[in-house]
Chain A
Amino acid sequence: MSSEPLVLGIETSCDETGVGIVRGTTLLADAVASSVDEHARFGGVVPEVASRAHLQAMVPTISRALSDAGVAADDVDAVAVTAGPGLSGALLVGVAAAKAYSVALGKPLYGVNHLSAHVAVDLLEHGPLAEPCVALLVSGGHSSVLLVPRIGGEQITELGATVDDAAGEAYDKVARLLGLPFPGGPPIDRLARDGDPAAIAFPRGMTGAHDPPFAFSFSGLKTAVARWVEARQRAGEAVPVADVAASFQEAVADVLTAKAIRAAREQGVGHLVIGGGVAANSRLRALAQERCDAAGLRLRVPRPGLCTDNGAMVAALGAQLVAHGAAPSALDLPADSALPITDVLV
């Protein structure tokens, strides 16, 4: 028997039903069923639609993960599940499924923090990293800079977060403005490749001398893009969508990377980890690499498929908790839609 724990992770905080299986830091299965197509016409994730899809997808996704990993349900040492933050009705389906797994087969249950899991997933791709590290988490729901003393440890400090929209939310809103589909990240990223990132000087929110150094604001940027586009439309001019996309994307990537790198330098850490759905963005990855190289920092970003929500990240964090001897969660574990980022294990 291997000494590394075999952990199954369940993720249902938003619109992806994810079930992943890892052994220690080795990824064995990453099964994901997405309901994103069902939300597209609403221009955003509809919680009730997501919850219904999670219920339908849960058993088939667990089965697929077990068969992909080539393990039996009973071989698993522990079950980890996203306890929050996220959509409450959606979280509840995953938490109930994980509890059922625990009760059926007598496996210990670990209710974990979704945001911490976005950091832990990098271990599956790049192995152990120098701790402490600084992590930048960017998704449709979050934009935060974190100090992580130890992955799977129970202490995380939030150095700063968005005061209004999350980065991914800004992408969705700008995409809608430009007539692009939901979710907005991938189409803007594609369009931006043909545009000039310096064409329009969109504002960099929260970068004034007196602003908190690690806080973000994307609401003003979104409004600035809207005003710029509307002015063109009113004047009867064509909107150069590629330039708008590239300039908007540049403003987002610039602020995110500048603040994350400043945090890493001030904290004196060697590694910057970037996670969350927006970490799949090509410009964010390229600019982060460029700036980390210049700052003498090691950058760690998982491949795009592991940046978006999945069960493997939950399993990865669960395996760290098990390895560090953390006590399992109680069976009355609540799903907490507003789980603070500092609570790694519930």
Chain B
Amino acid sequence: MFVLAIDTSSPAVTAGVVTVAGDVVLAAERATIAARGHGELLAPSIEAVLRHAGIRSRELDAVVVGTGPGPFTGLRVGLVTAAVLADLLGIPAYGVCSLDAIGAAAADEEAVLVVADARRREVYWARYEHGVRVGEPAVGKPADVPLDGSTAVAGAAAELYAEVWPELSRRPERYPEPIALVGLALDRITSGAPSDPLTPLYLRRPDAVAPGPPKAVSQ
């Protein structure tokens, strides 16, 4: 089976083609660091990985997409792309928490904290034990993240806020990668489960306040 993997939850605009046939093997991958380039880069990257994998879009069997958390504007590009592509091709689309893909890649670590940049001096974070998430992903100030026994930290924000976690060893995993994304959806892919609703993990409400009464213009 050919699976397209997409993640736009981070500055790494990521697309990959993964083959699933007993083993899970990466056929092609493109990740470009461009914090505001998701809208422009994702579709050409998908075309490129399909070409490098030597397949046509109509040969895809499933799409897996990172549902964040991540900056909303870029995150939505990946989700709407996955949803429309899968719907038109008549194949299922599965959502995977983007932090989980980083946590799963660091599964050899007993207890790892995964952090991603949430802008506004905050991080999206979740904790993992042997690659499996403990609790729900959350957003908060780096210094407020409870370590609860974590001995290592993974994700690109670990570098950004290195001074906050001097006691944790730094893992090399920075962004969600296609192999990990597909691995997390493997049961759904092989069993032919129906599509997920693909709802982003926003974790923040829109900044919007209802206005007060109109201000007087005359004094």
Residues of B within 8 Å of A51, CB to CB, are 72-73, 76
Of B43, B207, B209, B216, which contacts A48 at CB under 8 A? B207
Give B174-217 as 1s and 0s: 1 = Cβ < 8 Å from A's Cβ atoms. 00000000000000000000000000101000111111001011
Q: State the Cβ distance, B162 to closest chain A Cβ, in Å.
A: 31
A176 and B84 alpha carbons, distance in the complex (Å): 38
Of A43, A48, A54, which contacts B206 at CB under 8 A? A48
A96 and B81 alpha carbons, distance in the complex (Å): 6
Q: Is B200 in contact with A55, judged by CB distance below 8 angstroms?
A: yes
Q: State the Cβ distance, A345 to closest chain B Cβ, in Å.
A: 17
Residues of A within 8 Å of B88, CB to CB, are 62, 73, 100-101, 104-105
**A97 CB-CB contact with B under 8 Å:** yes
Of B46, B47, B84, B209, which contacts A101 at CB under 8 A? B84
Q: Is B39 in contact with A335, judged by CB distance below 8 angstroms?
A: yes
Q: Is B57 in contact with A96, judged by CB distance below 8 angstroms?
A: no
B208 (CB) vs chain A CBs: closest residue: A46
Residues of A within 8 Å of B108, CB to CB, are none
Q: State the Cβ distance, A234 to closest chain B Cβ, in Å.
A: 8
Interface residues of A in 47-72 (CB under 8 A from B): 48-49, 51-52, 54-55, 58-59, 62-63
Residues of B within 8 Å of A230, CB to CB, are 216-218
Residues of A within 8 Å of B216, CB to CB, are 226, 230
A176 and B215 alpha carbons, distance in the complex (Å): 11
B216 (CB) vs chain A CBs: closest residue: A230
Interface residues of A in 79-133 (CB under 8 A from B): 88-89, 92-93, 95-97, 99-106
**A333 CB-CB contact with B under 8 Å:** yes
**B107 CB-CB contact with A under 8 Å:** no
A267 and B50 alpha carbons, distance in the complex (Å): 51
**A41 CB-CB contact with B under 8 Å:** yes
**A34 CB-CB contact with B under 8 Å:** no
**A227 CB-CB contact with B under 8 Å:** yes
Q: Is B217 in contact with A96, judged by CB distance below 8 angstroms?
A: no
Residues of B within 8 Å of A332, CB to CB, are 40-41, 43-44
**B33 CB-CB contact with A under 8 Å:** no
Q: Is A99 in contact with B76, judged by CB distance below 8 angstroms?
A: no
Residues of B within 8 Å of A89, CB to CB, are 72-73, 76
Give A216-242 as 1s and 0s: 1 = Cβ < 8 Å from B's Cβ atoms. 000000010011001100000000000
A41 (CB) vs chain B CBs: closest residue: B210
Q: How many residues of A contact B (CB 8 A)?
A: 42
Q: Is A42 in contact with B210, judged by CB distance below 8 angstroms?
A: yes
A215 and B87 alpha carbons, distance in the complex (Å): 46
Q: How many residues of B contact A (CB 8 A)?
A: 37
Q: Is A103 in contact with B47, judged by CB distance below 8 angstroms?
A: yes
**B89 CB-CB contact with A under 8 Å:** yes
Residues of A within 8 Å of B50, CB to CB, are 103
A118 and B174 alpha carbons, distance in the complex (Å): 45
Q: Is B39 in contact with A42, judged by CB distance below 8 angstroms?
A: no
Q: State the Cβ distance, A19 to closest chain B Cβ, in Å.
A: 11
Of B38, B43, B207, which contacts A102 at CB under 8 A? B43
Residues of A within 8 Å of B207, CB to CB, are 48
A333 and B89 alpha carbons, distance in the complex (Å): 22
A89 and B202 alpha carbons, distance in the complex (Å): 15
**A177 CB-CB contact with B under 8 Å:** yes
Q: Is B211 in contact with A42, judged by CB distance below 8 angstroms?
A: yes
Q: Tell whether A42 pairs with B209 under 8 Å between CB atoms, given A100-B43, A227-B218.
A: yes
Residues of A within 8 Å of B73, CB to CB, are 51, 88-89, 92
Residues of A within 8 Å of B80, CB to CB, are 54-55, 58, 93, 96-97, 100
Q: Is B44 in contact with A59, judged by CB distance below 8 angstroms?
A: no
Q: Is A177 in contact with B211, judged by CB distance below 8 angstroms?
A: no
A45 and B150 alpha carbons, distance in the complex (Å): 43
Q: Tell whether A92 pairs with B89 under 8 Å between CB atoms, given A55-B80, A230-B216.
A: no
Q: Is A104 in contact with B85, judged by CB distance below 8 angstroms?
A: yes
Residues of A within 8 Å of B39, CB to CB, are 92, 95-96, 334-335
Residues of B within 8 Å of A42, CB to CB, are 208-211
Interface residues of B in 39-94 (CB under 8 A from A): 39-44, 46-47, 50, 57, 72-73, 76-77, 79-85, 87-89
A and B contact pairs by CB, cutoff 8 A, 17 listed: A41-B210, A42-B211, A49-B206, A52-B206, A59-B84, A59-B87, A62-B87, A62-B88, A89-B73, A92-B73, A92-B76, A92-B77, A96-B77, A99-B81, A100-B43, A103-B50, A105-B89
15 additional contacts (CB under 8 A) given A54-B80, A89-B76: A46-B206, A48-B72, A55-B83, A62-B88, A88-B73, A92-B38, A93-B80, A95-B39, A100-B82, A103-B43, A103-B85, A104-B57, A223-B217, A333-B40, A335-B39
Give the 3 A-B residue pairs with the shortest CB-CB distance, closest first: A48-B206, A99-B43, A100-B84
Q: Which residues of B contact A (CB under 8 A)?
A: 38-44, 46-47, 50, 57, 72-73, 76-77, 79-85, 87-89, 200, 202, 206-211, 214, 216-218
